[in-house]
Structure 1
Amino acid sequence: MTTTGYLAVSIGLALIGVIAAFFVGRFTAPRRPKAPEGLTVADLMQRIVQDSHDGIVVLNHFGDVVLHNPRAEELGVVRNNRVDDRARKAAEAVRNSNEVVYVDVSPPEGTKGRQPAAVHAEVRLLTEGFTVVDASDESEAVRLEKTRRDFVANVSHELKTPVGALALLAEAVLDASDDQDEVRRFSAKIMQEATRLGVLVTELIALSRLQGAEKLPELSDTEIDVVINEALSRSKLAAESVNISITTDEPSGFVVPGDRSLLVTALTNLLDNAVAYSPPGSPVSVSRRLVDGHVEIAVTDRGIGIAEDQQGRVFERFYRVDKARSRATGGTGLGLAIVKHVAANHGGEVKLWSLPGTGSTFTLRLPAAATEPNPTLVPTGAGDSGGEL
């Protein structure tokens, strides 16, 4: 081996020792177990670095990559053995100030390949002339923070409308205190807005609960026929007010592990949605069947339908296909989001088939209980959500 080769090996071993000391310092414990026979502490630390969930990069005083683990390439911090320019500049600042620098090294928009949306790195001095970049994938945290901000903004907007209306109506009642007819008219509107506000708050609480704000109840065997009957009872008044009849297939005896109250809420939301987006006098149907160990409850309407480019968004909070119709019916934009989370919390899903001008079928698909009857004895034609409206 040449003198240059010996020098390179020596530098490499020295850096491994320095990295080992760096990470041992970060994870120091009162008592350290001995390394397995045949492995040194440097070997163990090298394995930790190589297998780390974070991207680790060591740079020399020129900003060149001396060592890096595979995760650094996965996060895009190192490409073609060159470190991201933002990390290199941060490393230069660290060498000048000897202070830790935090830098955003997220991939630029439009980057090809599967890359995380947000990567943040901590750059610190490793030893004289050398710096270490410790990068982590913060995509989920950034997504959740954006979701939280959007949620707060949407809630604020949605609450402002009925609250503002209540204030104006109360003022109108005071001004018309001598006119009993006007007082009754404004009072009815106050009741309407108060009801809308109550529904919104109730659905916000339900959605918060479903998203983990509190522990969900234990799932128990729940009869789907009972769930359907109770949901029909809740939606009956709204359907009758617009001359819509809701028909169902025969009772099935299907059972699922679930929370009855949540399942009734989800199915009621699907029925209310079908009624709200259907023309007066049109039919709505509910059917159930057993497919591949799952109970499917399909709600079909002959309403306005949903365009293909909007079908992926209808389960988002506060998203409305027809905002004017939603305002007229008092919709909150949370109903389908609640359905999606109820299904997910039961190990199931909700599927959608829709065609503008023809109608829609929402199918709540839930794992069946082990006590279900033999599927070969159950007709599979009823409630097919494949587009037969």
Structure 2
Amino acid sequence: MTDLVWIVPALLVGLGVGFWVGRARRRPADPTPAGPSISILLQRLMQSSHSAIVILNEFGDVVQHNPRAIELGVVHNRRVDDRTKKAAELVKETGEPVEIELLPVQRGVQFGRGPEAVRGEIRPLGDNFMVVDAADESDAVRLEATRRDFVANVSHELKTPVGAMALLAEAVLDAADDVTAVRRFTGKILHEATRLGTLVTELIALSRLQGAERLPQLNAVEVDAVVRDALSRAQLAQETTGIDIAIDPDSCLLVEGDRTLLVTALANLLENAVAYSPPGSPVSISRRQVGKFVEIAVTDRGIGIPEDEQQRVFERFYRLDKARSRATGGTGLGLAIVKHVAANHGGEVKLWSRPGTGSTFTLRIPAHNASSNGSNNGGLP
């Protein structure tokens, strides 16, 4: 009996200890997840941002910044420029965000040519801290400059034929009794009206092409049919100048594309070659397949293009020889249209030229079922 007096309490103590040990083992683990802390993630976000991010204290000193801030010139030697510092003072006083724009002399040049425009905003963070958030706006500035140039060029190009027609119409009225003069002036009015119509048509075509992505619906197009149609469109210019256009044999090649656009591009290349070639000189067309692309080349023996101007000839309204272009009725949009047609087809237009020797413009368009077609390396001149 005396043993039971000691055994029972001992059992009760053992059961109690076992119960609490079991609860301790079943207790859920620490809820804090494994991995980087929030502060580390925020630091990584700041360092990887495409925008320049700078944190300033109440005195305008740099507390933290990311690499992009140095690239864009927002921070130099761990300091911001005076303009940004003054803007930060205004933010501290008013508590309102302030927009900033860095001047050209303040832009970063660490990786070569600096950005053309850096714009941003300074915002309060509380406790007298502020953040500078700036980005490279060069693309927007270039786009706006391009838009202004385009509007100015279009205005100039439209005023020329319109003004000419107004003057010619007055001449017709003054010479109403002179049949010969009326016919001469009327012919010139018709010429200017045709030129104006061509300009408007090409402007519409270019506006549809420019900025568009690759054409959504592509069909198998016969290259030989494109060449025939383009030759037909260039026939008037060819007959006017007396220039012969030689073509290679039919190729039976197919490309992925839009037939109408491809004909327009090739016709523009032919008309350009004829316009800038001396009378009697040859112009030729050749076609071949190179890998997954079909190349249609137009070669002339004309005046050629200096190397420093070879990229500019694809700009809208750019003319290598303004006097010759106006004499032939050129709009300055033909090669720009060729460039955009090629790009919309997933291809390109290449240029080889030498002054006094001539030029070769090569239109490269993806071949139809290029992965299964063989390579036909027919001769280019």
Q: TM-score range by the shorter chain?
A: 0.7 to 0.9
Aligned position for 2:339: 340
The secondary structure found in structure 2 opposite 1:319 is coil
Counterpart contact for 2:291–2:374, Cα < 8 Å? no
TM-score by length of 1: 0.84
| SS across alignment from 1:177 | coil
Residue number in structure 1 paired with 2:351: 352
Partner residue, 1:29:
none
List aligned pairs for 1:199-210, cutoff 5 A: 199-210=198-209
Alignment-derived partner of residue 195 in structure 1: 194
Aligned to 1:17: none
Aligned ranges 1:320-339 → 2 under 5 Å: 320-339=319-338
* 1:27 alignment partner in structure 2: none
Residue 41 of structure 1: CA displacement? Answer: 5.0
Q: 1:216 to 1:169 in 2, by over 3 A?
A: farther
1:209–1:216 contact (8 Å) kept in structure 2: no
Q: Is 1:232 the equivalent of 2:209?
A: no
**Pairing of 1:289-328 with structure 2 (within 5 A):** 289-328=288-327
Amino acid at match of 2:374: N
1:52-73 C-alpha deviation (Å, 9 max, x unpaired):
2211111112211101122222
How big is the shift at 1:112?
5.4
DSSP 3-state at the match of 1:103: strand
The residue aligned with 1:163 is: 162
- One of 72, 75, 79 as aligned partner of 1:78: 75
Cα offset for 1:97? Answer: 3.1
Return 168-177 or 210-219, whichever deviates more. Answer: 210-219
Structure 2 residue identity aligned to 1:299:
V
User: Match of 1:65?
Assistant: 62
Shift of 1:373: 4.1
Inter-CA distance 340–214: structure 2 relative to 1 (3 Å threshold): closer
* Unaligned segments of structure 2, at least 5 residues: 1-31
2:115 aligned counterpart, secondary structure: coil
User: In 1, distance between residues paired with 2:59 and 2:338?
Assistant: 56
Bigger Cα displacement from structure 2, 328-337 vs 61-70: 61-70
User: For 1:169-211, what per-residue CA distance to the aligned partner results, in whole angstroms no more than 9, with x for missing partners?
Assistant: 1111111111111111111111000000000000000110001
Task: Please state how far the C-alpha of 1:79 moved relative to its aligned partner.
Answer: 2.5
Aligned pairs (5 A) from 1:35-74? 42-74=39-71
Stretches (4+) displaced over 6 A: none
Q: Deviations over 1:211-255 (max 9, x none)?
A: 147995611111111111100011012101111010100111111
Bigger Rg over Cα? 2
User: Which TM-score applies when normalising by structure 2?
Assistant: 0.86
CA–CA distance in 1 between the matches of 2:165 and 2:82? 56
Report how far residue 329 of structure 1 moved: 0.2
Q: Which runs of 5+ in 1 are unaligned?
A: 1-34, 385-389
User: What displacement does 1:39 show?
Assistant: 5.7
Report how many aligned residue pairs link the two structures: 347
Match of residue 387 from structure 1: none
Q: CA RMSD in A?
A: 2.1
Matched residue type, 2:284: S
Distance 2:254 2:83 in 1: 57
Report the equivalent of 1:267.
266
